[in-house]
Amino acid sequence: MSRQGLAGRAIRYSGLPWLIRRVWARRRASIMLYHDPDPETFEAHLRFLARHYNFVSLDAVVDALYAEDWSSLPDRPLVVTLDDGHARNRRLVAIAEAYGLRPTIFLCTQIVGTQRGFWFYAMPLDEVEALKRLPWAELQKRLARDWSFKVTQEGSDRSPEALSREDLDAIADRVDFGSHTRFHPILPGCDETTLETEVAVSKREVEALTGRACDHFAYPNGNFGEREVEAVRRAGYRSARSIEVGWTRPGSDPYRLKITGVSDDASVDTMVAQLSGIPGWLRSLRPGPRSGDPLPKTERPGC
């Protein structure tokens, strides 16, 4: 068993996650973040979660925030979100439905329904973090120079990385959709015009793709500041989800919604530990800079 797995098991069976669920998280909403989990792992997680939490939609939590009335939510409410709109997300929807879960998928609107790829899959995993720190214009130049990749490039010789239009139509009645921008830039690295386009135009594109209102936004890689919050609010979204670890409770800022993890490939032990918030709290005590991503990713670098 890996060190992470051993730590997860130790935390799970310490009794602290049970105590946090029963006391701290009882009247707070937990929001989980996935990217591209395999169906077996996803189902194992939901099997545990269904016994210990009550699944609710993101709409329900945001409605409670705006109404300032938490009584509409059950004890231990839990929301599941998925970022980017990966092609394999379609396989998860039937599993979610079987457990009474309606997840929210945040779409990159100029990648779903196309043969385009996610820019962070165009290079080795260890190169991604350095590129995230570059301004968006410079990042695109580096993609073209070093990896012959353009965000608008269609790649007919590979399997689609994102959900197709057919996929979106097939799952539309069982999920909710939000925006994760158009091309997944790191927003603080965008100029004002690009920021406005990525935030506001992507909202309209989600609505055109799905035929439904797009009320929720997720910050790519979790990076944002006051400028980005104002752009999201100005575009007409009702909420925005970050990757800061914590819970949503009455009085929380709907444009800075927190998450309680989880890693796509986490064992159930590790998932339970991450949901307790303890690993995130321990990481916050470490000196040095903190990554934009809240949890380690051992396979694909979704962000």
Could you read off the pLDDT of 94-104 as tens digits, one per residue? 999 999 999 99
Indicate if 122 and 21 belong to the same structural domain: no
Residues 174 and 272 occupy one common structural domain: yes
Whether residue 126 sits in one domain with residue 71 = no
Identify the domain containing residue 70 by its residue range.
3-116+154-283
- Do 270 and 192 lie in a common domain? yes
Total of domains in the chain: 2
**127 and 222 inside one domain:** no
Length of the chain counted residue by residue = 303
The answer to whether residue 300 is domain-embedded is: no
Q: Are residues 105 and 147 in the same domain?
A: no
Shared domain for 161 and 204, answered yes or no, is yes
- For residue 301, being part of any structural domain is answered with no
Kindly report the pTM of this predicted structure.
Answer: 0.90
267 assigned to some structural domain: yes
Do residues 205 and 122 both lie within one domain?
no
CATH number at residue 76: 3.20.20.370
Q: Does residue 201 share a domain with residue 190?
A: yes
Distance of alpha carbon 121 from alpha carbon 236, whole angstroms: 31
Non-local CB neighbours of 281 within 8 Å, separated by 6+ positions? 245
> Is residue 302 included in any domain, yes or no?
no
Indicate whether 208 belongs to any domain.
yes
In a domain, 79, yes or no: yes
CB-neighbour burial class of residue 66 (10 A; exposed 0-12, middle 13-18, buried 19+): exposed
Tokens of 95: 């599993």
**Cβ contact 108:83 at 8 Å:** no
Same-domain status, 179 and 217: yes
pLDDT of residue 286: 53
Based on the fold, state whether residues 146 and 174 are members of the same structural domain: no
Calculate the alpha carbon distances from 284 to 11, 289, 295 in Å.
17, 10, 12
Crossing angle for the helix pair 39-52 and 268-275, to the nearest 10 degrees: 50
Query: Reduced to 3 states, what is the DSSP secondary structure of residue 302?
Result: coil
Does the residue 303 lie in any domain? no
Residue 161's pLDDT is 93
Alpha helices in the chain (DSSP H): 3-12, 16-19, 39-52, 58-67, 90-98, 125-132, 136-147, 165-171, 192-196, 202-210, 226-235, 268-275, 278-284
Residues lower than pLDDT 50 in the chain: 285, 288-301
Q: What is the pLDDT of residue 292?
A: 42
In a domain, 299, yes or no: no
Tell me, yes or no, whether 48 and 144 share the same domain. no
